[in-house]
Amino acid sequence: MKISRRKMIQATAAAVSLPALAKALSPSPKPLFFTPAEFALVDEMSDMIIPTDQQSAGARAAGVAAFIDARLAESFEKDQPERWRAGIKAVEALSREMHGKTFMASTPEQRLALLTRIAAAESDPKSDAEKFFGVIKSGTIRAYYTSKIGIHDDQQYKGNVIQPGEYAGFDAT
């Protein structure tokens, strides 16, 4: 017997009662922590890190920037949001240095050139912009692969279902 995902969500929904909180943290058109310009950069860069491909939609469709924004807005540790803000500043400075304009005002090719440059030092980042690549990449991974799109469309995760009969897998023979 197969239980559809929708049914499973309905079944579990009974156990969850945080509607007010969920509403407060749901993606909203106006960012909660980022400025609109910062939000646009995070949204674009996250979607470059995990883009749409033949299998599944990317980070933008999965609402990665909105999740990061909501978490930073309520962060108890102030160094977290500061790190993001400083990193974005460093990226903008590098963008002006490389292309004479902001990241979002750059062409897609120019944005790719910048991202490629800061990603090249991934294993040993030195500058603030290079360090920001690690920050936004891990934030994107965390948010994307816990999203509906990441779990179901991209990973096509088969678990978290009820197996009323035989368990899946192989016998220890």
Question: What count of residues does the chain have?
Answer: 173
Q: Which stretch binds another protein (CB under 8 A): 22-30, 35-43, 86-94, 103-111?
A: 22-30
Asked whether position 107 contacts another protein by CB under 8 A, the answer is no
CB of 2 or CB of 100, closer to another protein: 2
> Is 35 one of the binding residues for another protein (CB under 8 A)?
no
Shortest distance in whole angstroms from residue 109 CB to another protein:
14
Interaction of residue 27 with another protein, rule CB under 8 A: no
Tokens representing 84 are: 């993001």
Q: How far is CA 26 from CA 21, 68, 93, in A?
A: 9, 11, 31
Among positions 46-105, residues that touch another protein (CB under 8 A) are 48-51, 53, 55, 58, 67, 71, 74-76
Nearest Cα to Cα of residue 116 among 129, 128, 101? 129
User: Binding to another protein by residue 129, rule CB under 8 A?
Assistant: no
Cα separations in angstroms, 46 against 18, 28, 60, 102, 161? 28, 18, 7, 17, 30
15 within 8 A of 28, measured Cβ to Cβ = no
Quote the CA–CA distance of 114 and 106 in Å, as a whole number: 10
Binding site for another protein (CB under 8 A): 1, 3, 8-9, 11-18, 21-22, 24-26, 48-51, 53, 55, 58, 67, 71, 74-76, 115, 119, 122-123, 137-138, 141-143, 145-148, 151, 154-164, 167-172
